[in-house]
Chain A
Amino acid sequence: MLCLGKMLAERIRDARAVLARAEKSWRGNVSCFPGKAGGVVGCLFGGMALSRNISIGGFVPVGMHEVICAHDGGAASILAWYLARIAPQEQRAGYGRLQGCEQDRSQGKPQNNAQDHAQSNRSVFWVRQRRAIDQGGFYHLALPIGQATDPPPLMMTVDQQDIALWSCEEAAKSGQVASIILETTDYDLTSARRLQLACEAGGTRMIVLRRAFHGGRLMPSSALTRWKIEPAPSTPDTKTGNIHHLSLIGGRGVRPGSWKVKTDASTFSLSVVDPLEDGLSENQQDHGRYPPQGGPGRVI
């Protein structure tokens, strides 16, 4: 009986060691990211810590990210604009009690100031492929431009996907735009890799609004993160307001996650409905408890 107990204890210890090694390698694979660990944005959406879901510790501001959508319910555009305009300052103004955020703050601040200043006068380049997402065009008067100091975006509408991809690659390589938002249909792995390399060469961020067909299999890509946002269903009894389900569904070194967020169309921003739940679970994980105990708004 004692022997059995010893064996069980050893097996548990071995399993924990394997798990720790896997966790270490998941978190340690940082050098492959273009921005390295210093430039990542640790907290998004008004204080949501991403260190548990992205191995590098947060959102990488340089590189290609994807937002998957079938039809744009409007929230995908808001999410794309939010991700395109997110600046590393958010982590300083964000949910400061989180340990991961504090760590990012201390590492990323000096490096990002110069970059932010250089990109502050550059505009967003919005490339729309006709009939890719919806037959409706993006209505720029809904954007919060003119109210802030942001320069007006540069917009392009094209018929052919190859022209859209070429233009995005050229703009990404030049580094003359703050970030690029591309609305397009599905594309192959080579195109995605070219876009990713162009972003890394020019230090540009690209958000791709990628059309996913119903029932179709999504082609893999080299995007750093892959997001999905859908409105929370409402019933006559419960009006959900602007609540959406935001999901991190894939990417490089990504552990999927889902959150309830509230969209604000007047400022084109998103915020988690209850950041305290995410904060609690983050603290629990940092104290060595694994798997984490997610809150009710989080599914892992």
Chain B
Amino acid sequence: MSSENSNPTEPADDADGPHVITRADHKGVLVCGLNARARDAGLYGGMRLSDARSILPGLHDSPEDEALYDMHLAGLIRLMDRYSPWVAPDRELHAHGLQGDGGLWLEITGGSHLFGGETAMIGHILRDVKSRGYGARIAIADTAGAAWAAARHHPGAPAEHILSLPADHEIAAGFPVSALRLSDDIIALLSRLGLKQLGDITPLPRANITTRLGPDVLRRLDQFYGRLPEHLNFKLPDTPWLIKQSFGEPLGDAVNLALAIEDMTGKLCEMLAAENLGLRRICVRSIRVDGHAHTITTTTGTPCQSAPHILRLLGEKMPGVDTGFGIEKIIVHAPWVEHVAFRQARLDHQQDDSSDGLALGQLIDRICHHLGPNDILYRPAHHASHMPERAAIRQSPVGGARPARLPDAPLPKRPVRLLEPPEPVEVIARSANGAPTRLRWRKMIVDIACAEGPERICPEWWGHLDDDHYALSRMTRDYFRIRDQKGRMLWLLRTGHAGQDIWSIHGIFGG
């Protein structure tokens, strides 16, 4: 059985117009993916971009991103894993073809009844795929070749692409010869011979076909009708960091579910520890008797082998699992594992987590799982910039490589509190030389008892290459350290031109 999806790199249809994905090789820049508008305009995969532009001058194009393609493909395979664990990508087409017409095969033998039959299953898959923004054509057939052909050339409604041979022989006979996955040369030869459909080839003597057209046509034809086996390259997990457990009596309450997950997670951590690995991400999938699957995913900041820590992180998400009529299967999978530095165990086979920062990493994990959308946890770092707000940057709390203070970038005295953005002040009184002596800040009068400065900070010219000198001079900052009548030390900022100064408070010193 097979399922066929449109090319994951195919750009989304938008109102902007035709769009193509291009691939550059020794022949030039070729089109390898099209959206519907480009396809409607007569463009096709494998043509040169220059030819496509001659047809559509306003064509938008983007270079092919193989990493993005692989990421989407992996996501689709994970999605299809709900329907069958045996998923095979159409790798040959991705590697050599330029049609932008890849696909996936799903081995669903004996599994379609779980989804209400084959027609309902097609509907389920179509909804899932479309909800993630892909276009898809799906068919179910007895062989991989027939499914591939039916997905592309079946004349029925999209949800009824079911080809059952030999009952549907008439439908199969109407498929074009390109449904046999033949090379362009052979298809051109068949076309010259007037053999345009499968029904034209099947009555021919087999010996003549091999003699005149080569062995590929007969091999593909036999694979289509199931007379020859076809080996698919199923995408199976590369690593064995997966534990499945089925339950004869479905788990009906959360307590039993938690106990089962605890047991399986402990086993997985033992397996990882034996290989000196630690998990960075764990997925726990609970499959109910009605086929609904609930997945909990947790990520850690450092490679982790500690089952209690992982269970605590998972436990915070466990209340979201609805057991329904019972959970019949649990899959615990670690899709992301990393090597951990060798740690010597004590004689009692216990490890002291506090010795090498593991306990701190676990604390950071626990805190990070509670942070809101605007909350941040970081370690401070120093960026070589004169701008005070740019000099202070953030880095990851775990494994940050930047120093907290650059040794070769000395800083003048900086305030303890930096106000962002600077708070504008109103100058009430000035001295004879024009310097402010009394300000109004936060609706309060600030009498300047003494002032030091200025510290002049010019804008970074490389960020304003298009501006002229006049524009740059307006962005020059003059900082003064002032002490007010209350004894506070403030960082007074002056921007703008002489005569049109803008004064503001940018920070507060502690002493």
Contact = CB atoms under 8 A, between A and B. Distances in A.
Given A141-B382, A146-B405, 15 more contacts: A73-B508, A74-B511, A136-B508, A139-B414, A139-B415, A141-B405, A141-B411, A170-B363, A174-B362, A177-B363, A232-B487, A233-B486, A239-B483, A240-B487, A265-B416
A263 B382 CA distance: 24
A78 interface: yes
Interface stretch (B67-75, B149-157, B366-374): B366-374
A141, A155, A156, A158, most chain B CB atoms within 10 A: A141
B371 A142 contact: no
Contacts of B486: 73, 231, 233-234
A78 B510 CA distance: 7
A155 B382 CA distance: 14
Contacts of A299: none
B419 A135 contact: yes
A68 interface: no
A266 interface: yes
Given A145-B405, A152-B404, A167-B370, A137 B417 contact: yes
Given A233-B486, A235-B485, A152 B379 contact: yes
Contacts of B133: none
Contacts of B413: 265-266
B184 interface: no
Contacts of B414: 139, 141-142
A159, A174, A176, most chain B CB atoms within 10 A: A176
A156 B509 contact: no
A153 B374 CA distance: 20
Contacts of A78: 416, 510-511
User: Which 8 A-B residue pairings sit nearest by Cβ, starting from the closest?
Assistant: A146-B405, A74-B510, A231-B487, A263-B511, A242-B511, A152-B404, A136-B419, A140-B380
Interface in A214-263: 230-236, 239-240, 242-244, 262-263
Contacts of B111: none
Interface string B388-416: 10011010010010011111000101111
Give chain B's interface secondary structure class.
Answer: mixed
B485 A170 contact: no
Nearest to B376: A157
Interface string A155-174: 11111100100110011001
A265 B508 CA distance: 11
Contacts, number: 172
A116 interface: no
Interface of B: 354, 359-360, 362-364, 366-367, 370-372, 374-382, 388, 391-392, 394, 397, 400, 403-407, 411, 413-420, 423, 449-450, 483-489, 507-511
Contacts of A244: 487, 511
A49 B379 CA distance: 35
Given A145-B405, A152-B404, A243 B487 contact: yes
A139 B510 contact: no
Contact of B417 (A134, A152, A177, A268): A134
Interface of A: 72-78, 122, 134-143, 145-147, 152-160, 163, 166-167, 170-171, 174-177, 230-236, 239-240, 242-244, 262-266, 268
A244 to B, nearest CB: 7
Contact of B449 (A139, A145, A234, A268): A234
B379 A167 contact: no
B404 A74 contact: no
8 contacts: A76-B510, A122-B360, A135-B419, A147-B405, A156-B375, A157-B376, A239-B449, A244-B487
Contacts of B489: 74, 242
Contacts of B379: 152-155
Contact of B354 (A156, A176, A239, A264): A176
B33 to A, nearest CB: 43
B85 to A, nearest CB: 39
Given A152-B380, A233-B486, A136 B418 contact: yes
A176 B380 contact: no
A122 B357 CA distance: 9
B488 A231 contact: yes
Given A136-B418, A239-B483, A156 B370 contact: no
A229 to B, nearest CB: 9
